[in-house]
Amino acid sequence: MKGSNLSDPLIYVLDMVVFVGIFSILAISLNLEYGFTGLANFGKVAFFMVGAYTSSIAANMGVPYFVCIVLATTLAGFVGLLVSLPALKLRADYLAIVTLAFGEILRFIFKNESWIAGGVRGTTVPSAFLFVNLPIRTMMTVQIILVYSVLLVCYIVAQMLVNSPYGRVMRSIREDELAAQVLGKDVFKYKAQTFTVGSAMAGAAGSLFAQYMRFIDPYTFEPFLTFTVWMMIILGGPANNLGVIVGAFIVQVLERGARIAKDYLLLPIDPHNLRVMLIGILIILILLYRPQGMFKESKVKTPALEVAKKWKKSS
């Protein structure tokens, strides 16, 4: 193998790229739920966790990785649907509490039930590419291709969804639920579907995460992970899929950058603490001066826009 882990700075960069990709998927999924539909999901990590554990358990049983990620996505989506059925009947703020609690409950189950996946000791995840002995850089490049292919699929699905009559209804539910109902929209159905899709995407991200880390334990899935995704949405701009990817990039660059700084620079302050401060300041500044985020809400792009454009010219 060429080059060891710590002495090769490029590894840090590639690592950052992988994390940006995984978290972009999470950001897009939360954006569908919160940014477009107004569902305050504070339990994003739960569905990420379901995906990661499903994928790990399956991989340990010898299931090929492609099947693992499909399983993880499906199961996380299904769990999302189950949670949404009672939770979505509640008012927005209670939804936040229920989803937050769900994440914690799930984490404690994985922590205490060691028969599932090693409990506090965690579990190793066999690599999908173990059959070839690749140098570490190549290995990471393969991971990057994998992560960004899934990200691309999620992005396209999300874009198709929000730029459609369906996406318009999602936004209308966020703006005024009762008005949407009176205009004939089965609000509960839309919310449950959005929640399911969002959770499924988070599950896919979890599967990619487990595959990349090759080891997971319950301590990886603290509620803070959910808040990290929220920061990406707030920074990037809710209801803008490109915006939240930029948000994911900024937050992850700061997060991963702090690790590099810790290993390479001598600073009077622990870079990890500095990072938390920086993100805090950034969010306060954004909320004060640009509450809509760096990117504005995207328009609903459908054939109706073109019809409207022509209308102006003719009259």
Partner 1 sequence: MEEILLETRNLTKSFGGLKAVNNVTLTVGKNSITGLIGPNGSGKTTLFNTITGVYSPDHGEVYFEGKRIDKLSPHQIYAKGLVRTFQTPRLFQKLTVLDNMMVASRNHVGDSFLNVFLKRRSWGEQEAKLAERALEILELLELDDRKDTPASELSGGQMKLLELGRALMTEPKMMLLDEPAAGVNPTLARRIFEKIRQLRDELSLTFFTIEHRIEILLEHADWIYVMHNGSIVAEGTPDEVVNNKVVVDVYLGEA
- Which residues contribute to the site for partner 1 (CB under 8 A)? 157, 160-161, 164-169, 171-172, 175-176, 178-187, 193, 297, 299-300, 302-304, 306-308, 311, 315
Q: How far is the CB of 122 from partner 1 (least distance, A)?
A: 37
Q: How far is the CB of 169 from partner 1 (least distance, A)?
A: 6
d(CA 143, CA 17): 10
Nearer Cβ to partner 1, position 10 or 305? 305
Residue that has been written with the tokens 């599950």 in this structure: 203
E strand or H helix at 39, and its extent?
Answer: none
Q: How far is CA 249 from CA 26, 77, 121, 160, 185, in A?
A: 12, 25, 31, 22, 35
Q: What are the backbone dihedrals phi and psi of residue 123, each rounded to the nearest 5 degrees, phi first? A: -140, 145
Nearer Cβ to partner 1, position 233 or 250? 233
Asked if 187 and 72 count as a contact pair (C-beta separation under 8 A), the reply is no
Nearer Cβ to partner 1, position 133 or 314? 314
Nearer Cβ to partner 1, position 218 or 238? 238
Nearer Cβ to partner 1, position 145 or 304? 304
Q: How far is the CB of 190 from partner 1 (least distance, A)?
A: 8
Q: How far is the CB of 250 from partner 1 (least distance, A)?
A: 24
Q: List, as one string, the DSSP characters of 117-160.
A: H-GGG-EE---TTTTS---HHHHHHHHHHHHHHHHHHHHHHHHH
Q: How far is the CB of 295 from partner 1 (least distance, A)?
A: 14
Q: What are the backbone dihedrals phi and psi of residue 135, each rounded to the nearest 5 degrees, phi first? A: -65, 155
